[in-house]
Copies of this chain bind each other. A is one copy, B any other.
Amino acid sequence: MQTLSPTPRTTVTRGANRAVGERDRLLDLLADALTAHLGVVVTRDGATHPVVLPVAFAVDPDGPDEGGTLYLHGSTGAGWLRAALVSDVCVTVTELDGLVAARSAFSHSMNYRSAVVIGRARMVDDPAERRHALDLVVDHMIPGRSATLRASTRKELAATAVLALPLREASMKERAGGPVDEPEDVATGVWAGHIPLRRTALPPVSADDSHDDVPADVRLRADALA
């Protein structure tokens, strides 16, 4: 079993009991999650501030970067792109698994799995790696779909930036199960527990300009998420 080796930047300081050290668990979470939140540092008029945006992503555990590669893509005109290339970025992936209702406000919590990856993004220039990464992003949404699509045009590829982030500097936290209350609060007899949450899919909806013969990959994906 490979273990994560966090640096000081990714060492879990609060709630260290919730830290997850196995790389396989990180990869499982990244496989489950559909979106990530990308954080970049923007400098404007000499002042810095963070910007956090939801992004699609994909992972190649055997990618060329240390620890494997997390791929992001975006429009070459996106405002965050320049910021993402001149300083380190943070990609955070969170799956919310439940609401935890304790006897005290203080012990209320949420069940979740969350991964934080920090590092310097690499602009992917190699045409083969770019195609591979973009296929992975489509297949992350709907496994198998990229093989059913026409090739991207030169114009589409020219409008698309692909970034690669090493998975080397990563940490993961998880909370699961019910509330943890103080014994004196348990003794009051107040109810406590949790509400499990999950993401579900409804059946695929065909586009107005499409026929209704939903392909197998899309049906499988919707069924798997249902």
Contacts and interface: CB of A to CB of B under 8 A. Distances in A.
Given A54-B114, A198-B200, A185 B39 contact: no
Contact of A104 (B37, B141, B149): B149
B202 A195 contact: yes
A128 interface: no
Most chain B CB neighbours (cut-off 10 Å) among A35, A91, A106, A225:
A106
Contacts of A135: 105
Interface stretch (A7-15, A21-29, A61-69): A7-15
A201 B197 contact: yes
Nearest to A134: B105
A41 B88 CA distance: 10
A207 B193 contact: yes
Given A191-B206, A193-B206, A105 B54 contact: no
A100 to B, nearest CB: 8
Contacts of A110: 34-35, 56, 141
B206 A192 contact: yes
Contacts of A213: 191
Tell me the number of copies of this protein: 2
A9 B49 contact: yes
Contacts of A77: 13-14
A90 B39 CA distance: 9
B44 A41 contact: no
Nearest to A56: B110
B202 A225 contact: no
Given A198-B200, A211-B191, A50 B14 contact: no
Given A13-B77, A35-B96, 16 more contacts: A37-B39, A37-B92, A49-B88, A101-B142, A150-B185, A178-B205, A179-B207, A186-B210, A191-B215, A192-B206, A192-B207, A193-B214, A193-B218, A195-B205, A195-B218, A197-B202
What 8 pairs between A and B have smallest CB-CB spacing? A39-B50, A49-B88, A39-B52, A178-B207, A52-B92, A106-B156, A37-B37, A54-B94
